[in-house]
Structure 1
Amino acid sequence: MEQVTKYLIIITSLMTAKLRFTESKNNAVPNTTRNYYPIPYINICDIIGRSSKIYCYCNNIDPELTTRADCWIFSEIKEDDPIWPNFSSQSGLEYITFNVRSENVLTFIPTKAISSLDKLKQISIQFGTIKRIPPYAFKNLPKLRQIILKSNKINILEKYSFSHMMSLSNLSLDENEITELNTDIFFDLPNLQILDLSFNNISLIHEGCFKHLDNLKELNLDNNYISVITKEMLEGLENLSKLNIRYNKLTMIGNLAFSDSSGLKELLIDNNDIEYVSERAFGGLSQLRKLTLSGNRLSKFYEDVLDEVRNLVILDLRGNLLETISYEAIRTVVENDKSASIAVYLDDNPLNCDCRLSWVYLLRNETKHNALLNALEKISCVMEPHGHDGKDKVYNKNLLPDDSYDYYDTNNNDYNNFIKPTNNEGKKLINIPIDALPCPKEIMKSIEETYGHPVQNEIKVKAFSVAGRISPDLTIIILLGKLLY
């Protein structure tokens, strides 16, 4: 009996041990199964077959080594297509490009494809039909530095389209169809330095739309339909260094229009329809070094326009309607001793060949700046001014053909709507003897009333006694002296 009891105890112990082992084994099955059968994915860098809508060419097909992907979209793809989540397998991607081959193939930002790529530094999408950028389209991308959305037929930028991207430094939206810039499109982008909105249809910029871009350095708005510019539009851009508003529809520049961008060094306003620049248009721009106003409709450039712009070294007034310009109007530039190279460009204007331009001769003889000398020698004028009807861009047939410039901005040589002369009725100013320059009657009368009857020798002494300064009135008196004696 005692032995039977012993056997029963042994059998019971064995059964208990087997039961525990079986439970332990069963509990381990899920983990073993999960580790042995990983979730399947498509390697977007190794897609084979003609049925795929996307093909990506990568610098390495190994997902752990891939850093660049150049993807081509050949047929229409939806936002919920199962291909998009597969991009998350390429966790090392730093640069990705989507090239669209046909219209209406890609109509949205592929947020589902890129939102998990936390190492992404640059994304480029070209030739899509995206139309609108929704809020937070580029979320969860902490290292993203550059977004290029060129030629995507984008029309609408919604509130917070570009927001909460701490590393973004360059945003390109050129060659789209954007018509309006509202507030809070660009939000919380502390390191954005370059914003390119050129070649769009922008006609309306709401006040404060750039107010969150404290560190923006360059803003390109060229080739749009902007007709008005005010300081409220540029609110918050105190660190802006370069502003390009070429080829727009501006007709005037009002007082202090750029004063909220006091750090500006380059202001490019060529090829608009500007007829008037107010006295303090450039007030507050103490750091401005380059101002280009070529290809506009300016008939006057007042003497005090540049009074507050003391660091200007490049002034371009080519291709306007100026009949004359005084030395006082450009004195700020030519007397800038802080720069090794200065230049004032005045050719392609219907300037009258008279004594009001006599300062050009003296400045040409005294300047040590080659760029300025070259620009002065290209000035042409007409002996007998011809009228115009206000519609033509310039006095046709009055000017010499445009010569090439040693000018560091070669993009500024093309004047919009500029009527080039067909013959050489204009004359190079420096080829006309200074004695032959006539003086308008009102000028002669004004000089005589101010200085009395001129005495030639005394006038010469006066004219050259002030070092480094040229008086336009005195140069006119020199001419009168030569004519009278």
Structure 2
Amino acid sequence: MAHVKRYFFLVCLLLATVQVIFAASTRARSKKKTKDSKEKEVNVCDLDRRNTPMFCYCDNNQIRNASDVNCWIFDNVDVNDPIWEHFSSQLYLEKLTFIIRHGGTYGSIPTTVLGQMKNLQKIGFQYASIHELASHAFSNLPTVVEINLSRNMIVILRKYAIENMKNLTVINFDENRIAEINRDVFVNLPNLKQLFLNRNNVSILHDKAFKDLGSLQELELNGNQLSVLTTETFYGLRNLIRLDLRSNLLSMIGDKTFLELPELRSLELDQNQIEYISEKALDGMRNLKKLCLSENKLVSLEPDFLSGAPGINFLDLRENALKTMTFDNIKPIVTNLYNVSSHLYLDGNNLICDCRLAWIWGLKNETKNLKLKDVLDELTCFLESNNATTVDQDAVKGLNIPQNEAEYAADNLKDRDTEDDAYMGDDGNYYEEYEEGYGYPSRPEGNQTKVEIVEGKAGYMKHLFDLKPEELPCPEPSREDLMASEQPSSHRENSKAGSFSIFSLSHADRTDRNLSILILTAILPIVLFT
């Protein structure tokens, strides 16, 4: 019996020993397998440039330690290429940029890869061939704050292309080929502040295309082909502060076009083809401060076209075809222009020297802005003379004299391309930029009384302030109180003596003075050309 017990004990001991050895062997194999697995994981920051279509530059090459990765694509890569699997080695990136180099092609968004990133904040693609941005291309990426898709030949933006991104603040689509903006492209982006669509081919903005962008503050559509805007175009943009529509094909601004933009402070409409602005175009724009309309085709302005935006203190009307700028035009904002931060630009137009410009003397005297005084001092206008002789007009043909004020200004002004760094731009330096980059028209040297022909009429190009206000002719019977009765009494009382002398003249006095001017202008050419 003792022998049996001893035998049983030895068998149990042997079995226990075998079990321990087997368990140890299993653990060893498991550790080896894990080690082998780690050794096989490819670090996207350590790819062999010679054997892969993509090479990535990382701020830290250790696995899962990089935060900023810039990948260059040198060959054809599609969304199913195995190389995308290597991005699992760097799941904690904060910034990821793809640049397609010469010879490389890529045409889609690696949505699955982006969705794996735990801390991704900035995404960028440049020089890709993304013809179509598919639905849900960027979706449910809660940490992303900025998407840069400039220069990728994008033509079509599908519905829901960018959606459900609660922290996204900036989208950049500059320099693509986008033709239209449909509804529901941008959905559930509660913190989007800036949207850039400059230099595309956008000709159609569907009504309410931006209806879900209630937090947007800056929208840039510079350099597109927009020709029509309606009140519904900007529906939903209740917090927009700056709107850039420069270099489009707009020919008119209709009633209440910007009514959905109650907080707008800066509106840039330069370099369009605007010929007409409705009297109610700016209705509801109580917060507008800056209005830029340079390089359009405006010939005249509705009397109260600024009444809907009484807060404007920056008005740029350079390089249009305006024949006059009356006090009725400027009345809603004239007191704003007295401030040191005010801006008003009228040069490069076809202004006619007549009594409708008399208010400018009052503004020059009233404004505290010395640079504005200088700008006004350089204004030129065309003074018609009915007594310029045929000899004078024939002489003009042989002289290299601009035939209208637009040509005169173009000979003396340089092109400009100012882009604001902030919503309202760097207005404090605007006059310096004007002087350095755009230039004042230089006063002609020598004889300043050469006859010019403008729209078939003979006369002389004059600097407005070389004339006396009481000498300005009136084209037709006009109010005796062009400006005096319109000016706030406090300003009128504080004006310098004589600054409004034109407004106290009787109609008979002005007729006598105009007759004297005509006689002088008849005599001058004879003296000059004999």
Over 3 Å counting, the alpha-carbon distance change for 1:342 and 1:213 in structure 2 is same
Structure 1 residues 401-416: aligned runs within 5 Å: 401-402=411-412, 407=430
Over 3 Å counting, the alpha-carbon distance change for 1:381 and 1:338 in structure 2 is closer
- 3-state SS in 2 of match to 1:382: strand
Cross-structure match for 2:274: 274
Q: How far apart are the structure 2 equivalents of 1:383 and 1:320?
A: 18
Answer with 368-377 or 18-27: which moved more.
18-27
Do 2:150 and 2:174's aligned partners in 1 also have CA atoms closer than 8 Å? yes
Over 3 Å counting, the alpha-carbon distance change for 1:222 and 1:358 in structure 2 is same
Give the residue type in structure 2 aligned to 1:8: Y
Q: Please state if 1:224 is matched with 2:231.
A: no
Over 3 Å counting, the alpha-carbon distance change for 1:296 and 1:317 in structure 2 is same
1:231-267, CA deviations, whole angstroms, 9 ceiling, x for partnerless residues?
Answer: 2110110000000000001111111111101100000
- 3-state SS in 2 of match to 1:207: coil
1:140-186, CA deviations, whole angstroms, 9 ceiling, x for partnerless residues?
Answer: 43211111111110001111111111111111000000001011101
Do 1:316 and 1:345's aligned partners in 2 also have CA atoms closer than 8 Å? yes
Cross-structure match for 1:124: 124
Over 3 Å counting, the alpha-carbon distance change for 1:408 and 1:433 in structure 2 is closer
Over 3 Å counting, the alpha-carbon distance change for 1:411 and 1:29 in structure 2 is farther
1:405-463, CA deviations, whole angstroms, 9 ceiling, x for partnerless residues?
Answer: 96269599999xxxxxx9985321111232332222x22xx44xx79xxxxxxx99979
Q: How far apart are the structure 2 equivalents of 1:76 and 1:412?
A: 50
Cross-structure match for 1:308: 308
Q: How far apart are the structure 2 equivalents of 1:223 and 1:414?
A: 21
- 3-state SS in 1 of match to 2:430: coil
CA drift of 1:28 comes to 4.8
Cross-structure match for 2:6: 7
Q: Please state if 1:428 is matched with 2:463.
A: yes
- 3-state SS in 2 of match to 1:7: helix
- 3-state SS in 1 of match to 2:336: coil
CA drift of 1:42 comes to 1.9
CA drift of 1:19 comes to 5.6
Do 1:63 and 1:92's aligned partners in 2 also have CA atoms closer than 8 Å? no
**2:474 aligns with one of 410, 424, 439:** 439
TM-score by length of 2: 0.79
Give the residue type in structure 2 aligned to 1:246: R
Over 3 Å counting, the alpha-carbon distance change for 1:42 and 1:412 in structure 2 is farther
Q: Please state if 1:113 is matched with 2:113.
A: yes
Cross-structure match for 1:85: 85
- 3-state SS in 2 of match to 1:208: coil
CA drift of 1:208 comes to 1.1
Stretches of structure 1 lacking an aligned partner (at least 5 in a row): 387-392, 416-421, 452-458
**2:505 aligns with one of 455, 458, 478:** 478
CA drift of 1:94 comes to 1.0
- 3-state SS in 2 of match to 1:92: coil
Over 3 Å counting, the alpha-carbon distance change for 1:112 and 1:462 in structure 2 is closer
Q: How far apart are the structure 2 equivalents of 1:246 and 1:412?
A: 21
Q: How far apart are the structure 2 equivalents of 1:13 and 1:295?
A: 101
Over 3 Å counting, the alpha-carbon distance change for 1:265 and 1:49 in structure 2 is closer
- 3-state SS in 2 of match to 1:407: helix
Q: Please state if 1:62 is matched with 2:89.
A: no
CA drift of 1:363 comes to 1.9
* Cα RMSD for the two superposed structures: 3.3
Over 3 Å counting, the alpha-carbon distance change for 1:400 and 1:30 in structure 2 is closer
Q: How far apart are the structure 2 equivalents of 1:48 and 1:479?
A: 90
Cross-structure match for 2:183: 183
Cross-structure match for 1:35: 34
CA drift of 1:334 comes to 2.6
Over 3 Å counting, the alpha-carbon distance change for 1:60 and 1:20 in structure 2 is closer
Over 3 Å counting, the alpha-carbon distance change for 1:323 and 1:176 in structure 2 is same
Over 3 Å counting, the alpha-carbon distance change for 1:321 and 1:428 in structure 2 is same
1:95-114, CA deviations, whole angstroms, 9 ceiling, x for partnerless residues?
Answer: 12211113661111233433
Give the residue type in structure 2 aligned to 1:466: S
Do 1:354 and 1:439's aligned partners in 2 also have CA atoms closer than 8 Å? yes
Over 3 Å counting, the alpha-carbon distance change for 1:368 and 1:193 in structure 2 is same
Q: How far apart are the structure 2 equivalents of 1:101 and 1:358?
A: 61
Give the residue type in structure 2 aligned to 1:432: L
Q: How many pairs does the alignment contain?
A: 459
Stretches of structure 2 lacking an aligned partner (at least 5 in a row): 387-402, 417-428, 439-443, 453-460, 514-530
Over 3 Å counting, the alpha-carbon distance change for 1:308 and 1:71 in structure 2 is same
Answer with 34-43 or 127-136: which moved more.
34-43
Answer with 136-145 or 265-274: which moved more.
136-145
Q: How far apart are the structure 2 equivalents of 1:25 and 1:478?
A: 114
Q: How far apart are the structure 2 equivalents of 1:63 and 1:403?
A: 58
Q: How far apart are the structure 1 equivalents of 2:138 and 2:191?
A: 16
Do 1:104 and 1:129's aligned partners in 2 also have CA atoms closer than 8 Å? no
Do 2:340 and 2:368's aligned partners in 1 also have CA atoms closer than 8 Å? no
Query: Greater helix share, 1 or 2?
Result: 2
Do 1:219 and 1:243's aligned partners in 2 also have CA atoms closer than 8 Å? yes
Q: How far apart are the structure 1 equivalents of 2:485 and 2:333?
A: 23
Q: How far apart are the structure 1 equivalents of 2:471 and 2:320?
A: 25
Over 3 Å counting, the alpha-carbon distance change for 1:409 and 1:162 in structure 2 is farther
Do 2:337 and 2:344's aligned partners in 1 also have CA atoms closer than 8 Å? no
Give the residue type in structure 1 aligned to 2:13: L
Q: Please state if 1:149 is matched with 2:139.
A: no
Over 3 Å counting, the alpha-carbon distance change for 1:461 and 1:244 in structure 2 is closer
- 3-state SS in 1 of match to 2:171: strand
1:8-66, CA deviations, whole angstroms, 9 ceiling, x for partnerless residues?
Answer: 32234234434644664576567445433325222222223412111111112113331
Answer with 310-319 or 3-12: which moved more.
3-12
Q: Please state if 1:46 is matched with 2:73.
A: no
Over 3 Å counting, the alpha-carbon distance change for 1:338 and 1:25 in structure 2 is farther
Cross-structure match for 1:354: 354
